[in-house]
Amino acid sequence: MSLRHAMLGLLADRPASGYDLMKRFETSLSNVWPATQSQVYGELGKLAKSGLLKVAAEGPRGRKEYAITEEGLVELRRWLTETEPERVRRSDAMLRVFFLNLLTPLEAVAYLSTEAGRAAERHAALEELEGVVDWGDDPLSVNGRLALEYGLRFSAMYEEWARWAAEQIEGQPHTGRAG
Amino acid sequence: MSLRHAMLGLLADRPASGYDLMKRFETSLSNVWPATQSQVYGELGKLAKSGLLKVAAEGPRGRKEYAITEEGLVELRRWLTETEPERVRRSDAMLRVFFLNLLTPLEAVAYLSTEAGRAAERHAALEELEGVVDWGDDPLSVNGRLALEYGLRFSAMYEEWARWAAEQIEGQPHTGRAG
DNA sequence: TTTTGATATGTCAGAGTTGGAATGTCGGTT
DNA sequence: AACCGACATTCCAACTCTGACATATCAAAA
């Protein structure tokens, strides 16, 4: 469960309320770890209870500002240095590839071309983002930049792969299995 | 929820029992959609109840062989052609990248180098697999080959990115934030 | 003064996922 | 005859995730 660590990581930068955290999830982490309100508030309570966070200040409207504790920092560093990222990641998109033979070659090629197009769009959106964001030397944005570069490389790779795969199918004798 | 569709897809190839299905998950789909016994058997029941599968035969040891129904095939094709793959995928590995500034540059570089190494290992394992598997013209393996190529490209891209990211950190002035 | 919109915190039901335990059968070997 | 390994299913507890719902405050505009 990495939601816990995503939250600790954000709070290591600076304290925040649940609401603040949600906004930070949306702007910086949404592409690698989306989270919903119910998750964030729920986890905030659990983390405070277990001592990894503490309520640092209370404000208007019942606002509670949470700060990471020494214990939380230790846990966060432990996670970063001593645990391995999950090896297998589910991929809806790749799952479909296994079953492409259930479609006509035409349909399969259409699917792959659409995927290639979507990857190109994502790539363009990330390039756009790169131009817009203020890449100061604030540590979070240094790292954000590494992640952005990953996104750019990933979407480029995916687009190329999808176009290649479409070609494979086009150049293949029909088996007449579907359609 | 794609477990449902993964199972329909496997059964579209040929009928199978829960036990058979588990083996097929382990050998072919484990890299894109892992599943546990409890999930498979549970879903098998639900799918049969809703008419997308039927019990085609019963064998020794209470074995029930499930086959996809016409309705199931329709649903599978609908999923393939009319629904979009999920856009955002959680990535444990990228999440860590955002918080690399909490480590010393040395530790961060070590993390990225380890990741590069793991990617290289995965790449080698997939190359190995490519050599071993009998790539006949059985439709599932045609598609499996497309997925394998994706895996090869992905791991190569990831390794390069991780090495590049490590260089970025090495070439960066220290801020003394951690360590 | 009323209303609206942004701020702010929370609960709930339902679905999905994990990992393990419990149970039993069949075929072949010792 | 006893045993083992492969076959085969079912149930369970705990946890995570999603999406919707409920509630309330504050500032500023209408």
Question: What CATH number does residue B73 fall under?
Answer: 1.10.10.10
Q: B85 and A107 in contact by Cβ < 8 A?
A: no
What's A99's DSSP letter? Answer: T
One domain for residues A74 and A100:
no
User: Which pLDDT belongs to residue A175?
Assistant: 58
Residues of chain A with Cβ-Cβ distance to B103 below 8 Å are 77, 80-81
Can you name the residues that pair with A58 across neighbouring β-strands?
A64
CA separation for the pair B90, A92 (Å, rounded): 12
Tell me, yes or no, whether A149 lies in a domain.
yes
Interface test with A, best of B114, B150, B153, B159 (most A CBs within 10 A): B150
- Check whether residue B40 and residue B71 sit in a common domain: yes
Is pLDDT larger for residue A9 or for residue A131? A9
Residues (16-55, chain A) with CB within 7 Å of strand C atoms: 17-20, 37-38, 41-42, 44-45
Instruction: Give the percent of chain B with pLDDT over 90.
Output: 71
Tokens encoding B50: 């809703």
Q: So what's the pLDDT on residue A86?
A: 86
User: Residues A147-157: what's their mean pLDDT?
Assistant: 96
B150: which chain A residues are within 8 Å (Cβ-Cβ)? 94, 97, 161, 165
Name the residue range of residue B68's domain. Answer: 3-82
Give A104-120 pLDDT, tens digit per residue.
Answer: 999 999 999 999 999 99
Q: Are residues A67 and A96 in the same domain?
A: no
Last residue in a domain, options B82, B104, B130 = B82
| Residue B179, pLDDT above cutoff 50 | no
Q: Which of B57, B82, B107 is the last residue of a domain?
A: B82
Q: What is the pLDDT of residue A88?
A: 76
Q: What is the pLDDT of residue B89?
A: 80
**Binning pLDDT at 50, 70 and 90, where does residue A57 land?**
confident
Contacts with A, B 68-87, CB within 8 Å: 73, 76-77, 79-81, 85-86
What's the mean pLDDT in B32-43? 93
Q: What is the mean pLDDT of residues B161-176?
A: 84
Task: Note whether A12 and A73 are same-domain residues.
Answer: yes
Q: Does residue B108 lie in a domain region?
A: yes
Query: Are residues A154 and A99 part of one domain?
Result: yes
Residue A29 sits in the same domain as residue A69: yes
Q: Would residue A179 count as lying in a domain?
A: no
Cβ contact A80–B9 (<8 Å): no
Residues 6+ apart with CB under 8 A from A176: none
Q: Is residue A57 included in any domain, yes or no? A: yes
The reply to whether A175 falls in a domain is no
Name, in order, each residue with C-beta under 8 angstroms of B172's C-beta and a sequence gap of 6 or more.
A142, B105
Indicate whether A110 belongs to any domain: yes
If you average pLDDT over residues A14-25, what whole number do you get? 92
- With CA of A59 and C1' of each nucleotide, the nearest comes out as C8
Instruction: Classify residue A134: in a domain, yes or no.
Output: yes
A127 located within any domain = yes
Interface subset of A 22-61, CB within 8 angstroms of B: 28-34
Alpha carbons B34 and A93: distance in angstroms, whole number: 14
Same domain for B105 and B59: no
Q: What is the pLDDT of residue A179?
A: 40
The gap between A42 CA and C4 C1' (Å) is 29
Which of A61, A82, A103 delimits the end of a domain? A82
B114 and B58 co-located in one domain: no
Q: Is it the case that residue A100 has pLDDT exceeding 80?
A: yes
Identify the pLDDT of residue B45. 93
Q: State the pLDDT confidence band at B137, using cuts at 50, 70 and 90.
A: low
Are B61 and B103 found together in one domain? no
**Are B57 and B107 found together in one domain?**
no
Same-domain check for residues A96 and A162:
yes
Q: How many structural domains compose chain A?
A: 2
Contact yes or no for B67/B15 (Cβ under 8 A) = yes
Closest of A20, A113, A107, A10 to residue A53, by C-alpha: A10
Residues A33 and A69 in one domain: yes
Q: Is residue A139's pLDDT more than 70? A: no
Mean pLDDT lowest for which of A27-36, B27-36, B127-136, B163-172? B127-136
Identify which has the larger pLDDT, B74 or A142: B74
The answer to whether A1 touches A50, Cβ cutoff 8 Å, is no
